[in-house]
Structure 1
Amino acid sequence: MRLTKMLSFAKELRGKKPVDIDKIQSMGLLAVKLGQICALRPDLLDPDRCIQLQELYSRAPTIPQENFEQLLTKYTDENFRSNFKHIDSKPFAAASIGQIHRAELLDGTKVVIKIIKADFEKSFRRDVKRMKRWVKMGLFFNPKLKKVGNPIGLLSHIEDYTLRELNLLNEIKGKQRLEQLAIDYNDKFPMPKLSFPKIWENLSNERVLVIEEITAPTLESHLNAQTMEWDDLLQLFRIHGAFMFGMGVFHGDLHPGNAMMTKDKDFIFIDTGAICEAPNHVRKALFGFFYFLAKGELKNAFDAMLTMADVEPTGETLEIYYSSMFELYDGFVGTSVSEVSLTEQMMKTVRAAVLAGCSFGDDAFPIIRSLMYMDGMVLKGHPNVDLISSMGPYLDEFATLIDPTTLLERTPVAQRKLVGKNRPLITKTAA
């Protein structure tokens, strides 16, 4: 992303005029992905601008019908169309990289066809590389920015999961992986309210995916219609949190447009191309932090976070850490997200922990980002709730997946297993 484009993007976020969604989309895929993250941050941006940015989840430019027909012919074999009674050449939905068309199989089954609209990979990689260069320059000239957050980690995470999404075979692999984990852990942690759409693998490839048509509204639609109750959000946290904290493998882009909720309050996860992993020491430290925090055991919570430190802090460094953390969390438990959002609090927590020697590399960001999405949904739907206290019973339930008696034990740096970034998944698309 060129500097002029980056400044133009920043102007759309902070300007006084209404957000120009079309302009952001014209800036490229990276701008869209960053905009989607900002859409759930009413603590960082004006709430009205966040609402406007949320159009990036569901509103995207479509290609002309004739281009769709050409792409379908290009990306499928000559027998593909013979499997369908009809295919609607006009899309009913579009996203940043693909668009969705209704179709009907020969047996009458209603399906949708997802197709990649263009070759995004080259321009996307170029934009990420440029933006990283600008960010690194900013960090060089203003090192204090390093204490505020991890912008390079954010960009690396966006790059990683977006490149996965560009190959639709990863969506099949991701769905299979999450489904199998749910089966494997069913005795310890049943998740009857979670399901995934059926995918016709024999009709799918890197660029085209044939999926069961889901008519249930997205979480975004429920939030806009105020039909998502507080217990619904807690059930979502129960499911997603079990994958994040208990299993260490989870949906890496679970924004409100990537999950549906049925009239029976069941959740359907879609767009499973970006599956993320968290090393044991990272998920254990973050889980321990929230586990003890919800119980009001502040020192244990702070000590759990320190298990991520490369070198255990002592002396003045440790005293400063405790002092800053106790000050930060004085009265926090029991506070509503509208008063202090979880994301805002986590940014300050990360800063204090980094100064004490904790390492928040790229592998920690997916969990933090997922919590940011959850926090954003709570801010929009139920801003007056105490999220941390409400999480308590579910964190206790996660203890069936991760032994709480080990949460304060440090794993030596040399023994930490840094998971690969889903190496079995495909990150390269065909030319």
Structure 2
Amino acid sequence: MSFLFSWRRRIADIARVRRVVEVLIRNGLGFLVQQLALDRFLPRFWRTRGLRAEQAASRRTVPERLRRTLEELGATWVKLGQFLSGRADLLPPAYIEELSKLLDAAPPVPIDQVRDVIIREMGAPVEELYASFDEVPIASASIGQVHRATLPNGQEVVVKVQRPGIEAEVEADLNLLLAQARFLERRTEVMREQNLVAIVEQLARSLREELDYHREGRNAERLRANLASDPRFAVPGVCWDLTTRRVITMEFLDGIQFNEVERLRAAGYDLPSVARVAVEGYLAQIFDAGFYQADPHPANLLVMGERIGILDFGNVGQLTGNQKQLLGDLFLQILDEDVEGLARTILRMGTSRTRPSMDALERDLQRLTVRYWGASLEELSVGEMVADIFKTARQHKIFLPADLAQLARTILTMEGTGRMLDPDLVLVDAVRPFALRLVRSRLSPIVAGRRAVRAARLAADLFQDLPRRVDGLWDQLEAGDLSFGIDVRHLNMVVTKINSMVNRLVYAIIVAALIVGSSLILLGGRDAWVLPILGIGVPVAQIAFLGAVLAGVWLIVSLVRSRTL
């Protein structure tokens, strides 16, 4: 059975890769098939098929072709593009800009299939659960679609239903992406340095979380509690008795989306004020709570009279207390033009396999920041600057946590959404008070006291554990089991070089022995060895001498080409 299952999965993988290859070629990205070695999944007869790019593809830029390809491939690939749009440390600006336009839209699922999902998840038909259920969805995306409904008590709600079979499809795509990432890491040093597998694993975690509507509900409840004290914001409540892993029912928020600028203007709203309140709300989520809705797209924000409604909680970000403090330092150092402090903060934020050169990092940051510090506040894009700083860190082999890369994308999106309503929005002015508050809170007696208590607790644990560790070390020493490991840097490279030298030396000795041996035979006066049975004379000495000369010439040529003479 396992054999049949393995073959069936292999055939499914081949079919999936074939579709990816077809879409790539049709959109003018056929060169990626060879560069990414995707053709290794395909049967040999299929590789020879004559596929051609569409004529329209040649008129588009490569970033545009990539965006259209991802949209055509479906849910997993759209999420991959959205994920990469926040990784300015990995992709050039043209790709970031184009991937930011990705549309997560899909044709609606037939209502019969929607009803089947609800019955399987809830154990009852739609008519028993809701007083009314609108069969026409108000939104349809690659993972799920949203319908308006009314509860028996008259409350208006929205019901998001997951597409049938989407979970299995996403898992298959993720397995394919992970297999490809592992293959590319084994194949090239560049991919290993970029931690390609870790990037795909982060995407996989994010997508699996988004497929779990229970988690989305908990995210909404947490954000609702965090913003409960601010009457300017509204977060829909979750109807938990009508929520499962694949169906979520939430309070309906009625308002005008941020991307409906003309409707907002016609309704008499002060758009700069709306933009300022929305930005302040997001900065409070990030700097104060450390928990934020990570997709402030204009369609996810509503103006509801005096309040701003927030929608879609499948994608959220979270920062630790230490990350919030470092983020506050980062922004203040950016605003105060403190390059040395900025370099130190970046080093503390990330991890590095080797100790980077601080002087080189500071020089690159200086060159980067001169471009921004010379701009007016209205022209300064905080999101772009943070993304460029993270990109510089990666160039110096400093790898920042995925949470911070996600934050950079959120800030960039938030800034773009705010400037849609107010082109003169200055994000720097909004960020400074939040960053200052973070730094000041670190100096408050209460926070200092908490840190002191934590340090004392750690010290007490260490002293309590110290005798046991010393005793164990002494036992190993008495038993002769104590060993030390030494890691010599670049040892593999040295061993490889020595092996190469020894091999060449042995080869040279063999060549010399052949020359000397064949010369002695010739000096002995014997021209040929006669084969015992056939009686044919073979000029062994001459053949050995000629072979040794050719081998010697090859050795000299290889040494010259390797520049080791």
TM-score tier by shorter-chain length is 0.7 to 0.9
Q: Secondary structure of the residue that 1:332 maps to in structure 2?
A: helix
Residue 179 in 1 paired to residue 221 in 2? no
Q: 1:341 to 1:248 in 2, by over 3 A?
A: same
Which structure 1 segments of 5+ residues have no match? 416-431
State the shift of 1:394 in Å: 3.9
SS in 1 for 2:132: strand
CA distance in 2, matches of 1:177, 1:9: 44
Q: 1:334 to 1:211 in 2, by over 3 A?
A: farther
1:121-178 deviation digits (Å, cap 9, x = unpaired): 232133234334445655666656788x776555444322221221211122112222
Identify the residue that residue 212 of structure 1 maps to in structure 2.
Answer: 251
Q: Name the CA shift for 1:242/1:115 in 2 (closer, same or farther; >3 Å).
A: same
Partner Cα separation in structure 1 for residue 184 and residue 76 of structure 2: 19
Query: Relative to structure 2, which stretch is displaced further, 208-217 or 246-255?
Result: 246-255
Structure 1 counterpart of 2:362: 322
Tell me which of 114, 127, 131 is aligned to 1:68: 114
Rounded to whole Å, the distance in 1 between the matches of 2:58 and 2:270 is 31
Q: Point out where structure 2 has 5 or more consecutive residues left out of the alignment.
A: 1-15, 30-56, 459-565
Give the aligned partner of residue 164 of structure 1. 209
Amino acid across the alignment from 2:163: K
The 1:359/1:31 distance shift into structure 2, 3 A limit, reads: closer
Cα distance between partner residues in 1 of 2:136 and 2:350: 53
Q: Select 1:333's aligned residue among 369, 373, 380.
A: 373
Report deviation, 1:301: 3.2
2:372 corresponds to which letter in structure 1?
F
| Pair 1:91 & 2:108 matched | no
Which residue in 2 is equivalent to 1:121? 167
Tell me the SS of whatever aligns to 2:298: coil
In the TM superposition, 1:301-312 aligns within 5 A as 301-308=342-349, 310=351
Task: Tell me if structure 2 keeps the 8 A contact 1:258–1:270.
Answer: yes
What is the rounded CA distance, in whole Å, between the counterparts of 1:10 and 1:401 in structure 2? Answer: 53
Q: Name the structure 2 match of 1:277.
A: 318
Q: What is residue 287 of structure 2 aligned with on the other side?
A: 245
Q: Whole-Å Cα distance in 1 between the matches of residues 362 and 348 of structure 2?
A: 14
SS in 2 for 1:289: helix
Query: Structure 1 CA distance, aligned partners of 2:66 and 2:431?
Result: 37
Question: Pick from 360, 377, 392: which aligns with 2:432?
Answer: 392
Larger radius of gyration: 2
Deviations 1:193-216 (A, max 9, x none): 222112211122222222222221
User: 1:268 Cα deviation (Å)?
Assistant: 2.0
Structure 2 letter corresponding to 1:126 = A
Query: Greater CA deviation, 18-27 or 209-218?
Result: 18-27
Give the aligned residue type for 1:250. Y
Partner AA of 1:318 in structure 2: M
Q: For residue 216 of structure 1, what is the amino acid of its counterpart? A: G
What TM-score does the superposition give when structure 1 sets the normalisation length? Answer: 0.74
**Separation in 2 of the partners of 1:155 and 1:224?**
40
2-side partners of 1:35 and 1:342: how far apart? Answer: 22
Contact 1:336 1:387 in 2 (8 A): no
- SS of match in other structure, 2:370: coil
Match of 2:335 among 279, 286, 294: 294
Partner of 2:539: none
Task: Give the drift of 1:359.
Answer: 3.4
Report the counterpart of residue 21 of structure 2 in structure 1.
4
Pair 1:44 & 2:61 matched: no
The answer as to whether partners of 2:287 and 2:434 remain within 8 angstroms in 1 is no
Count residues with an aligned counterpart: 397
1:203 correspondence with 2:231: no
- Alpha-carbon shift at residue 328 of structure 1 (Å): 1.0
1:28 aligns with 2:74: yes
Give, in whole Å, the separation in 1 of the partners of 2:189 and 2:361: 20
**2: CA distance, partners of 1:379 / 1:6:** 35
Output the CA distance in 1 between the equivalents of 2:152 and 2:259.
32
Answer yes or no: is the 8 Å Cα contact 2:276–2:418 preserved in 1: no
Amino acid in the other structure paired with 1:29: A
Contact in 1 for aligned 2:378/2:426 (Cα 8 Å): no
Which residue identity lines up with residue 417 of structure 2 in the other structure?
M
Question: Cα offset for 1:337?
Answer: 9.2
The alignment partner of 1:60 has SS state of coil
Q: How far does residue 334 in structure 1 lie from its aligned partner after superposition?
A: 6.0
Matches within 5 A, 1:248-267: 248-264=290-306, 266-267=307-308
Change (3 A) 1:100 1:20: farther
Letter in 2 for 1:289: L
Q: 2: CA distance between counterparts of 1:260 and 1:125?
A: 33
Of 116, 135, 147, which residue of structure 2 is paired with 1:101?
147
- CA shift, 1:374, in A, is 2.2
**Aligned mates of 1:181, 1:280 — CA distance in 2:** 16
TM-score of the superposed pair, with normalisation by structure 2: 0.58
Aligned-residue sequence identity (percent) comes to 17
Aligned 8 A contact 2:279 2:430 in 1:
no
Closer, same or farther in 2 for the Cα pair 1:34/1:354, shift >3 Å? closer
Does the residue aligned with 1:257 lie in a helix, a strand or coil?
Answer: helix
Name the aligned partner's letter for residue 132 of structure 2. H
Q: Which residue of 1 aligns with 2:407?
A: 367
Counterpart secondary structure, 2:372: coil
Residue pair 1:277, 1:363 contacting (<8 A) in 2 also: yes
Counterpart of 2:320, as a letter, is P
Cα distance, 1:311–1:138 mapped onto 2, change above 3 Å: closer
Structure 2 Cα separation of the partners of residues 372 and 261 of structure 1: 21
State how far apart, in whole Å, the 1-side matches of 2:69 and 2:124 are.
38
Tell me, in whole angstroms, the C-alpha distance in 1 between the residues paired with 2:389 and 2:262: 28
Q: What is the distance in 2 between the residues matched to 1:358 and 1:216? A: 44
Say if 1:250 and 1:277, in contact at 8 Å, map to a contact too.
Answer: yes
The 1:91–1:258 alpha-carbon spacing in structure 2 relative to 1, beyond 3 Å, is same
SS in 1 for 2:373: coil
Distance 1:284 1:396, change over 3 A: closer
CA contact (8 A) 1:333 1:389 kept: no
